[in-house]
């Protein structure tokens, strides 16, 4: 099964700073996805990057993908208190079953 493991487990920054989270996976993928989860809620899809892409932007989000290292990073620029959440990555391939990591817990302090 595809897998995502996030690093660091927890991150605390000040509002306005950038936040970088990393993700590793073990098998070949067709795309890699990042999600956000606010406390006690469902996950929200943020961005999808395909295996033939190296970088993708969406608003304040920047995602990179290095398939040779089986890793991805999510950069949130100019963070806001509302970005406080857990962030998950998951690599998707031909297998419908995905294995999710424990996420990175981001705290943005006002």
Partner 1 sequence: DVKVTQSSRYLVKRTGEKVFLECVQDMDHENMFWYRQDPGLGLRLIYFSYDVKMKEKGDIPEGYSVSREKKERFSLILESASTNQTSMYLCASKTGGGGYTFGSGTRLTVV
Query: Three-state secondary structure along 39-87?
Result: CCCCEEEEEEEECCCCEEEECCEEEEEECCCCEEEEEECCCCHHHCEEE
Contact with partner 1 (CB under 8 A): which of 14, 52, 96, 110? 96
Minimum CB distance to partner 1 smaller for 45 or for 69: 45
69 binds partner 1 (CB under 8 A): no
Question: CB of 79 within 8 A of CB of 16?
Answer: yes
Stretch of 14-22, 42-50, 55-63, 72-80 lying at the interface with partner 1 (CB under 8 A): 42-50
Summarize as ranges the residues that interact with partner 1 (CB under 8 A). Answer: 30-31, 33, 35, 40-45, 48, 88, 92, 96-103
């Amino acid at each position: 099964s595809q897998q995502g493991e996030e690093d660091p487990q927890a991150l605390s920054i000040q509002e306005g700073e950038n936040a970088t989270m990393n993700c590793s996976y073990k098998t070949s993928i067709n795309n890699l996805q990042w999600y956000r989860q606010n406390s006690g809620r469902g996950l929200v899809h943020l961005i999808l990057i395909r295996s033939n892409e190296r970088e993708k932007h969406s608003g304040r989000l920047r995602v990179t993908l290095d398939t040779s290292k089986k890793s991805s990073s999510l950069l949130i620029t100019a963070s806001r208190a509302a970005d406080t959440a857990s962030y998950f990555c998951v690599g998707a391939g031909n297998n419908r079953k995905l294995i999710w990591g424990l996420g990175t817990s981001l705290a943005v302090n006002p």
